[in-house]
Amino acid sequence: MSNKTARLIEAFSAIQGEGLNVGTRQIFIRFAICDLRCDYCDSAHTWVAPAEYRIEVTPGLRDFEVYSNPVQLNTLLGFIQRQNVPSLHDSISLTGGEPLLHAPFLAEFLPELRSLTNLPIYLETGGHRPEQLLTILPYLDSVGMDLKLPSVSGESHWQAHAQFLQYCYDSQTEVFVKIIISNQTDVAELERAANLVAAVSPAIIIYLQPVTPLEVGTMFAPSPEQVLTWQALMKNWIKQVRVVPQTHKMLQQL
Ligand code: SF4
């Protein structure tokens, strides 16, 4: 595939529901394809590239137009230009799927995006592809890195997470860590995660995000007692451990 094209799910304007930017208005670019298979994934429709993607015409109105994949770089720039109405948006979110699977595209797209708008660029990622991150890190303003606990996600990427976080920190890119927790969370893994982050810097904020139970499945949110205990535990190593559920689901947003 050309570096000037990528597989997309959708692009639209919405309120960020998670992490450090919660409550802010963002232009979302949701890329297709993910190489992980987290047990709690609420975006399984992004795992493989669909034949078509959709792009919102008016910010926030969900008046989508549908096109065939792949998306051209210029089409995406045109979309940003249309959505970039003065003062509405706080930043642009690259999300997915796993956006870093499109690193060659992003390495061409992001410099052009920067010359088009001065909105900060924020990457949401599984945090397991440090080599791909390096290729686009100079164009990013902030990164939300998932740290996958094996007991909750079924995925295990400790070494890659440590390297990924170190790269963000060394480049002085704003970074926070998000950890999904369920009632099955292994406490030893939380301790290991806190130590992993503290080894890079105890000032990096960790967001504990109670899982939003899927309609089908056996995953349950942690009890209030579990959350209080785990936050207290992690604060032995990390200055700020914040507990924030997915607020966009409460608002019934995309
Ligand atoms: S990394 Fe994200 S999109 Fe991929 S499987 Fe996990 S939760 Fe789903």
Helix (H) or strand (E) holding 143: strand 142-146
Tell me the pLDDT tens digit for each residue of 216-235: 577 899 999 999 999 999 99
Q: Which residues, in sequence order, are CB contacts of 86 under 8 Å at separation 6+?
A: none
Q: How confident is the model at residue 79 (pLDDT cuts 50, 70, 90)?
A: very high
d(CA 6, CA 98) in angstroms, rounded, equals 12
* Å from CA of 55 to ligand 1 middle: 22
- Residue 245, amino acid: P
* SS3 (DSSP) at 199: helix
Q: Look up the pTM and report it.
A: 0.96
The residue that leads in pLDDT, 188 or 212, is 188
Pocket residue to mutate for ligand 1, from 43, 123, 157, most atoms within 8 A of Cβ: 43
Tell me the pLDDT tens digit for each residue of 38-68: 999 988 999 999 999 999 999 999 999 999 9
CB 47 within 8 A of CB 34: yes
Portion of the chain with pLDDT greater than 70, in percent: 98
Helix (H) or strand (E) holding 15: strand 8-15
For ligand 1, atom 7: residue with the closest CA: 41
CB 191 within 8 A of CB 233: yes
Q: Is the pLDDT of residue 215 over 70?
A: no
**Ligand 1 pocket, Cβ-based, cut-off 6 angstroms:** 34, 36-38, 41, 43, 46, 96-98, 126
Q: Which residues pair with 144 in a beta bridge?
A: 124, 176
**Size (the chain), residues:** 254
* Å from CA of 146 to ligand 1 middle: 9
* Å from CA of 39 to ligand 1 middle: 9
* Å from CA of 41 to ligand 1 middle: 5
Tell me the pLDDT tens digit for each residue of 94-119: 999 999 999 999 999 999 999 999 99
Count each helix (H run) and each strand (E run) in the chain, helices first. Answer: 8, 12
Residue 18 DSSP label: S
**Distance of alpha carbon 139 from the chain centroid:** 16
Residue 216: its pLDDT value, please? 59
* SS3 (DSSP) at 161: helix
The closest of 181, 97, 96, 94 to 136, measured between CA atoms, is: 94
In angstroms, the Cα distances linking 22 to 11, 16, 42, 188, 210 are: 18, 5, 18, 28, 15
* Biggest alpha carbon–alpha carbon distance for the chain: 51
CB 171 within 8 A of CB 203: no
What average pLDDT does the structure give for the chain? 95
For ligand 1, atom 3: residue with the closest CA: 97
* Å from CA of 97 to ligand 1 middle: 6
